[in-house]
Amino acid sequence: MRKIKEILRLKLEVGLSYQKIARSCNVSASTVHDVIRRANAAGLSWPLPKELQGETELENKLYPGQILSPLRDKPDMSWIHRELKRKNVTLQTLWQEYKAAHPDGYQYSYFCEQYNIWREKLSPVLRKTYPAGKFMEVDYAGQTMTITDPAAGETHPAYIFVAVLAATNYTYAEAVMSLELASWIASHLRAFEFFGGVTEILVPDNTKTGITQPCRYEPEINRSYAEMASFYGTAIIPARPNKPRDKSKVEKGVQVVEQWILAKLRNRTFFSLDELNAAIDKELVELNQRPFQKLEGSRKSLFEELEKQALKPLPDMRFQFALWKTLTVNIDYHIEVEKNYYSVPYQLVRDKVDVRITSSLIEIIHKGKRVASHVRSFGLGKCCTLPEHRPVAHQKYLEWTPSRIIRWAGEAGPSTGQLARHILDKRPFPEQGYRSCLGLIRLGDRYGKERLESACRRALFFGTNTYKSVKSILEKGLDRTPLEKPPESKPILHQNIRGKEYFGQEWSRSEISEPKWLKAIN
């Protein structure tokens, strides 16, 4: 190990204790004791002889034929690297298993150091340890494909969604026609179904589609996106802004998809999204089965071995996409969603409510409690109102019908009911007469039903069938006076009135004096 020289120097030259040397070299005291014991047995002193200046020579001197000579005693670094991807597996656990099989093998510090040296030789994207089933990183590729409309000849861009399981690099890709929220979430669902399970954590970019408010420390996640994650039992931890290494797996995955899939399809013409995705699926199978360059196996084999069993199972039902909005309840205790109106309890007027919009349902939530639910309406200007959402006064008002109004008025007497019918009949719409009829009923509460009936009889007798007429009769007490027929009207005689006989006479043209202008013409 590289620290052997430093341990020997600190002990043989400086004279430090085992504990101080262990703290200085970041190794255990037992390791220091073992190195000094072996150095004393080999008769070494400080400074070391020239033939032992190299690390390999010094190790062979102190550990002759025990660890470095037999290859079977060396730990398999590729195996260690794969095992670290399993849940709850640490280097300490693997070293203990190794030590049990090889009692004279590497000590823990040297074991870790050798693994870190081996790992540094790999590609930089593999330096971070990713436990199996822990992370799924997602992003859109920068490169797009083209869909050609065979009828119109127009072309439309198709965007490439990429998802990568961080522990095994197992990759999923698909083409979509939209970058909107519904398409973004639908791509996640298809990725889950492709992998056959869900990881503990989703790592997206700070895209505006999924992240409402990007922030290095407390990003605000879109509510629909967060609801999807909750449904599948996963957590969303976005990469920090301008920190691509936070999602280095999908960054590399996008590059691989562009080079090994999109580049192969660049010269083909696709006339539908399904046709393009079928071509991507075919190339995706080959990509995941291609052997690694520096590790054994492939993405597919590593996934089957390590990660498939570590994923959380999919729920029995697929997530139903829902759009969330925050709205203010109008004074008519309704909210507006896409030009249609839905009622909420009238007590929430002017309050803010959360609205969950699915393809078939409108759910209204206030302070975490669902207060209303409506079947979604399509079109414009439709109103969905539940009777229990109205105030009591409004409920009673809407209980009125023409027949019910006449029946209520008729409780005072037949004349009152007849007058109410006259009021409703002379309106273009019966509802316009409800107020007048209500006024009649209230006059009965004030003056008594008998007086109201008498007043209505009088109004009907004289043909003044209005609420104001009945009110005037009651105020002036005319309902208490007997009814008299109005006197018959007689014709007025006057010398200037010619009478009907005058208009019955026949006049000849000769008896009518012609005007001067007519005489001039003749």
In the predicted model, what is the mean pLDDT of residues 360-368? 89
What sign does the dihedral 239-243-249-252 (CA atoms) show? Answer: positive
Helix (H) or strand (E) holding 354: strand 352-357
pLDDT tens-digit series, residues 448-468: 888 989 999 989 988 888 888
Among 200-204, 266-270, 439-443, which stretch is predicted with the lowest mean pLDDT? 439-443
In 3D space, the residue among 202, 207, 200 whose CA is nearest the CA of residue 241 turns out to be: 207
Average predicted confidence (pLDDT) for the chain: 81
In the predicted model, what is the mean pLDDT of residues 158-175? 93
Q: Is the pLDDT of residue 508 over 70?
A: no
Among 11-15, 263-267, 442-446, which stretch is predicted with the lowest mean pLDDT? 11-15
Dihedral angle of Cα 333, 336, 340, 345, to the nearest 10 degrees: -30
pLDDT band for position 83 (cuts 50, 70, 90) = confident
Token pair for residue 82? 């794969």
Q: Which CATH architecture has domain 135-310?
A: 2-Layer Sandwich (3.30)
Q: Are 83 and 43 in contact (CB under 8 A)?
A: no
What sign does the dihedral 273-275-278-280 (CA atoms) show? Answer: negative
Token pair for residue 97? 């298993």
pLDDT at 146: 92
pLDDT at 110: 85
What is the distance between the alpha carbons of residues 507 and 484, in angstroms, rounded to a whole number?
46
pLDDT at 381: 82
What is the distance between the alpha carbons of residues 449 and 443, in angstroms, rounded to a whole number?
8
Q: Is the pLDDT of residue 159 over 90?
A: yes
What is the distance between the alpha carbons of residues 184 and 202, in angstroms, rounded to a whole number?
13
What is the distance between the alpha carbons of residues 187 and 174, in angstroms, rounded to a whole number?
8
pLDDT at 300: 92
pLDDT band for position 514 (cuts 50, 70, 90) = low
In 3D space, the residue among 166, 165, 157 whose CA is nearest the CA of residue 262 turns out to be: 157
pLDDT at 396: 58
What is the distance between the alpha carbons of residues 103 and 113, in angstroms, rounded to a whole number?
18
State the Rg of the chain over Cα. 47
pLDDT band for position 106 (cuts 50, 70, 90) = confident
Amino acid occupying residue 299: R
For residue 14, what are the contacts with CB-CB under 8 A and spacing of at least 6? none
Point out which residues pair with 337 in neighbouring strands. 340
pLDDT at 187: 94
Three-class DSSP labels, 385-406: CCHHHCCHHHHHHHCCCHHHHH
Q: Is the pLDDT of residue 53 over 90?
A: no
Three-class DSSP labels, 125-136: HHCCCCCCCCEE
Within a 13 Å sphere around the CA of 453, how many CA atoms are in the beta-carbon half?
10
Dihedral angle of Cα 157, 163, 169, 171, to the nearest 10 degrees: -60
pTM of the predicted model as reported, rounded to 2 decimal places:
0.54
DSSP conformational letter for 411: T
Helix (H) or strand (E) holding 341: strand 340-343
CATH 3.30.420.10 domain residues, the chain: 135-310
Point out which residues pair with 176 in neighbouring strands. 159
pLDDT at 157: 93
pLDDT band for position 214 (cuts 50, 70, 90) = low
pLDDT at 163: 95
Q: Are 434 and 400 in contact (CB under 8 A)?
A: yes
Amino acid occupying residue 267: N
pLDDT tens-digit series, residues 476-487: 888 888 876 655
Three-class DSSP labels, 16-76: CCHHHHHHHHCCCHHHHHHHHHHHHHCCCCCCCCHHHCCHHHHHHHHCCCCCCCCHHHCCC
Q: Which tops the pLDDT comparison, 393 or 117? A: 117
What is the distance between the alpha carbons of residues 335 and 328, in angstroms, rounded to a whole number?
7
